[in-house]
Structure 1
């Protein structure tokens, strides 16, 4: 059955049969050493088929200006390396689209203008492009991006020129560059990024210390280097005629300082506007602004639950919050049966500049109400741990000026208010049912047939009391 089979290696089979010392007619016993040798050669008789797994096709881009935007990955220590042919991350810009070269050309054309001569639409185009570059948007906040988009400039360099990146951050929009030193960019965190070249690349003509970077890559630094490090530390050489988007380091530092001042002033005004803090000395308010962080919450987000200690002190910058108490109430079912259910009763509302959570955190008192966002809310938050770490004098001042919210509302008041609202709701439902029955009895169906009423349009030049032929009009 095995004759002619492609699964048997006949050469190995012959070698196995020729092993001396195997059991035969003339040799009735096989030695242990020969047995081990035979068992070692036996598996080689059968051919093993090589399993070929399906390959994953590589994504390729078409077009002259095809580019790949990527994020650098940390390998070891403070050194970050990228490979010459490792741009495999998902694209954020549809470089294969036919309109991409035109968009890139328009962006380069916009950057050639002086920033003060650009229109609002052109600034918006630059802002959207900067958001697509990972090295830029990962280091800058949205506010910084918007302001820097009005100050960035474009630079054009010919082939073979050395570009110094120690005083600005550059994004390549056209052409390519080669690294001139070990590092080619420095991130805001303070670490330098190293460019590594794959020595196994067949078409690599650069030296082992140089890497080629193309469209979408960045080099330079947002924070200027000290004078002792500026000499060719972040320098690159243009491999061809290239265009760059440049963020000057001086502009970044100026805008970052302006934004920090505005945020500090906004935090001070928010805390100072709260009724509890209007008489506070500014020295103590500075301690709170240093810990305050901005957060935005959607509608119906629960800030505080009943029976829980607040996790933070909140200062409402915009929006409003509703406070609820949960009480047991009798609910009437359709068949007239009364059952007991828990109901949320609105007991109050917090408006902008008001705050909550101070007393609950400092005295470790569980909340007696539930606080929920009635609209989207922008909140200034100070974590409970930061409040408890404040100076004892500031904590005493907080307890003296703050008061528990909705403490004057008793449970009897809530029950009476609930009964009053339920009676009003029941009476309104009863009136609506009576009105519908009367209209139906008289054959009146609102919105159908002759009972469709359309508003009569009036022009501004017409008199308020206009007499129509079929309508009697009287002045009152």
Structure 2
């Protein structure tokens, strides 16, 4: 009952008592009942129970968990991959194991390369990088390019697969090799290197797979080829075409094979060669001596070029030696020095002759040197030192002598000696300038030092006397008087 209503009731009750005659005497039970019920007309204070913190925390944690699960379910409702995995019988949560990755890899290879997405191309590239026979003989850029055109082939049991037109990786099933030894993936010139087809398990230990024992690895290297074993070649030569049995296998089960076409690899090498030749052509054409050369003559030089790098400070050629190549600087610069005989004073009346190098200038990018020395076998008149890491296209002197006489004469007529415009007088004048500058710096430093130390002046302290209890350690052997 509200307080205002209670007060009104009490006042009315008191007024009635004053105006009404005294009540008749009550019985004892009725009076006891009135005394017992009278406190109930007042407002009672609610009893508050003690706080249960653990139960509240559990209740709050359960509410947060339910909220996160509800949010996750709402997000998954729009993810079609969840429903696809449920249809295929896969668990929708958790990281993929190796078998799932292989299944996804096979599904991607079933598509035509033009229909694959960027993510699928990247997945194929990553899987190919786990094959040791590929990564050991192909660069990462080549492997990335080839991964965009790989396909899968299905062969039934008992089929004979000839691998002389591409490189194969067994993804599923077993196959038996026709021969024990296999030629290298890439046949190098004059190379007779051979290898036994290796198993993927003998190289890679995945998180989902356990490494096998050495005796099991030896068994995998036999004639029975298991998943992730390889066979075939990427170099199609006349010898390969004449002996296809070397690269043949017979399928023991229904097999899924990944094939890298040898034609695609040949096209990749051809494109790379064309790009390099175009770069070399531009480099040689930019050199001062070759600006007026015909294109056919420059193309003859391009076929002989090899790339070479020189570290910083490397002496490429010394003065008086015959340089064995012609160099075209692609990046970096070279410092040019000339020799001169100078005098060093040993005593007041004695001097000594020494050979000194005088810095005369630099050779920058798109400049060449060594044409006349390599062709005519003449001593080089300068010392060339790499000022920084230098990348240059070089042609060996033996290759230059195999050029046709017209190209040789054209090079002799257009090329000039490196810094050939310098005479001995120029070199001596440069040397004297350097020596005079060195003497002037020495004289200047000595004069300034003597002036600062005159009468005990020490830089940073001044010339006045200091009354110190002890001499500072840095001033014990100076001209300061204490």
What is the TM-score of this pair, normalised by structure 2? 0.56
- Aligned match of 1:323 in 330, 333, 336? 336
3-state SS of 1:428 partner: helix
Which runs of 5 or more residues in structure 1 are unaligned?
Answer: 1-100, 197-201, 446-476
Match of 1:257 among 247, 261, 270: 270
User: How far apart are residue 436 of structure 1 and its match?
Assistant: 6.2
Matched residue pairs, number? 333
1:353 aligns with 2:353: no
Secondary structure, aligned partner of 2:292: coil
Cα distance, 1:119 vs. partner?
A: 8.6
Partner of residue 60, structure 1: none
Of residues 289, 302, 306, the one that matches 1:276 is 289
Tell me the CA shift for residue 192 of structure 1: 10
SS in structure 2 at match of 1:340:
strand
Which has a greater percent of helix? Answer: 2
Residue 363 of structure 1: CA displacement?
2.2
1:361 alignment partner, SS class: helix
Partner of 1:9: none
User: Hey, what does 1:401 align to over in structure 2?
Assistant: 414
Q: How does 1:17-416 map to 2 (within 5 A)?
A: 113=108, 116-118=117-119, 129=130, 133-134=132-133, 137-138=136-137, 140=138, 144-145=142-143, 147-148=145-146, 150-151=147-148, 153=150, 165-171=163-169, 177-182=174-179, 185-187=182-184, 188-189=186-187, 211-213=223-225, 217-223=229-235, 234-237=248-251, 246-331=259-344, 338-416=351-429
Question: Cα distance 1:436–1:184, how it changes in 2: closer, same or farther (>3 A)?
Answer: same
Q: Deviations over 1:189-222 (max 9, x none)?
A: 38796869xxxxx99xx9xxx7134577531221
CA distance in structure 2 between the aligned counterparts of 1:326 and 1:252, rounded to whole angstroms: 52
Q: Is the partner of 2:419 in helix, strand or coil?
A: coil
The answer to whether the 8 Å contact 2:182/2:246 transfers is no
Give the distance between the partners of 1:425 and 1:282, measured in 2 at CA: 50
Structure 2: distance between partners of 1:409 and 1:181: 70
After TM superposition, give the deviation of residue 223 of structure 1 in Å: 3.7
Structure 1 165/362 Cα, relative in aligned 2: closer, same or farther at 3 Å? closer
The corresponding residue for 1:441 is 458
Q: TM-score, length-normalised on structure 1?
A: 0.57
After superposition, the Cα gap between the structure-2 partners of 1:223 and 1:363, relative to the gap in structure 1 and judged at 3 Å, is closer
Paired residues of 1:271 and 1:315 also in contact (CA < 8 A): yes
Q: Is the alpha carbon distance of 1:214 and 1:337 closer, same or farther for their aligned partners in structure 2, counting shifts above 3 Å?
A: farther
Deviations, residues 66-118 of structure 1 (Å, cap 9, x unaligned): xxxxxxxxxxxxxxxxxxxxxxxxxxxxxxxxxxx989987996786566513
- In the aligned structure 1, how far is the partner of 2:349 from the partner of 2:259? 75
Q: Is the Cα contact below 8 Å between 1:184 and 1:235 reproduced in 2?
A: no
Matched-pair contact (CA < 8 Å) for 1:324–1:346? yes
Give the Cα separation in 1 of the matches to 2:319 and 2:430: 20
Compare 153-162 and 356-365 and name the one that shifted more: 153-162
Please list the CA deviations of residues 278-336 of structure 1 after superposition, one character each: whole Å capped at 9, or x if unmatched: 11111211211121111122122222222222201111111111121122222356999
After TM superposition, give the deviation of residue 261 of structure 1 in Å: 0.9
Query: Structure 1's 119 and 109: CA in aligned 2 closer, same or farther, altered over 3 A?
Result: closer
Q: How far 1:266 sits from its partner (Å)?
A: 1.4
Deviation string, structure 1 residues 151-201 (Cα, Å, up to 9, x no partner): 2647597996856534431346x77844342377554438796869xxxxx
Q: Is the 8 A contact 1:182 1:195 kept in 2?
A: no
CA distance in 2 between partners of 1:246 and 1:322 (Å):
51
1:287 and 1:238, CA in 2 relative to 1: closer, same or farther beyond 3 A? same
Cα 1:216–1:318 change in 2 (3 A) is farther
Determine helix, strand or coil for the equivalent of 1:441. coil
Q: CA deviation at 1:429?
A: 4.4
Separation in structure 2 between the aligned mates of residue 110 and residue 180 of structure 1, nearest angstrom: 25
**Gapped regions of structure 2 (runs ≥ 5):** 1-95, 198-214, 463-482
Whether contact under 8 Å (2:121, 2:148) holds in the other structure is: no
Shift in CA distance, 374/142, structure 1 to aligned 2, threshold 3 Å: farther
Would the alpha carbon gap of residues 412 and 212 (structure 1) be closer, same or farther in structure 2, given more than 3 Å must change? same
Does the aligned pair in 2 maintain the 1:183–1:194 contact within 8 Å? no
